[in-house]
């Protein structure tokens, strides 16, 4: 299995024409950096976890739910029309929980995939 961080670091060096301190300096497939490296880097970075827009959250697709109190887990979220609530079906739980839509980004938020602790801490909560 390839080390994702090493690949990203190597591609960043190629994309910026800084081959001297690239972790792949002895494995590079050409003496000139490949333009495909720029595209691959963009695609890899697009897959990194990010906080979702509310409209994307309530579609029912699985996401990583994080609460300001530290609770986290995979969940499927659905809007409850007219109630101002969002129905949350959390993995490992049979009973749905309800949270207020108006509190999104204040007391709870969803990510496209599970973020690292560093990624979570880098994104501030809306006040």
Domain ranges of the chain: 4-46, 54-122
pLDDT value for 113: 92
pLDDT value for 92: 53
64 and 114 in contact (C-beta within 8 Å)?
yes
Q: At what angle do helices 35-46 and 4-15 cross, to 10 degrees?
A: 140
pLDDT digits (tens, 9 = 90+) for 23-53: 766 666 555 566 667 677 787 888 899 999 9
User: Which residue in 38, 61, 64, 33 sits closest to 51, CA to CA?
Assistant: 64
46 and 8 in contact (C-beta within 8 Å)?
no
Mean pLDDT, residues 84-94 taken together: 71
Give the right CATH number for 54-122 from 2.30.30, 1.10.3470, 3.40.1620, 3.30.70.
2.30.30
Per-residue pLDDT band at 105 (split at 50, 70, 90) = very high
Mean pLDDT, residues 60-76 taken together: 88
The DSSP letter of residue 3 is -
pLDDT value for 1: 37
| Residue 127 pLDDT exceeds 60 | no
């Amino acid at each position: 299995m390839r080390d994702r961080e090493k690949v990203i670091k190597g591609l960043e060096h190629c994309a910026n024409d800084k081959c001297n301190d690239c972790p792949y300096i002895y494995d590079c497939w050409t003496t000139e950096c490949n333009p495909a490296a720029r595209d691959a880097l963009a695609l890899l970075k697009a897959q990194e976890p990010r906080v979702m827009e509310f409209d994307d959250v309530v579609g029912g697709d699985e996401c990583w739910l994080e609460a300001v109190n530290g609770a986290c887990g995979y969940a499927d979220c659905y809007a409850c029309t007219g109630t101002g609530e969002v129905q949350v079906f959390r993995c490992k739980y049979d009973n749905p929980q309800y949270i207020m839509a108006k509190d999104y980004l204040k007391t709870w938020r969803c990510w496209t995939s599970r973020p690292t602790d560093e990624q979570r801490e880098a994104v501030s909560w809306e006040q």
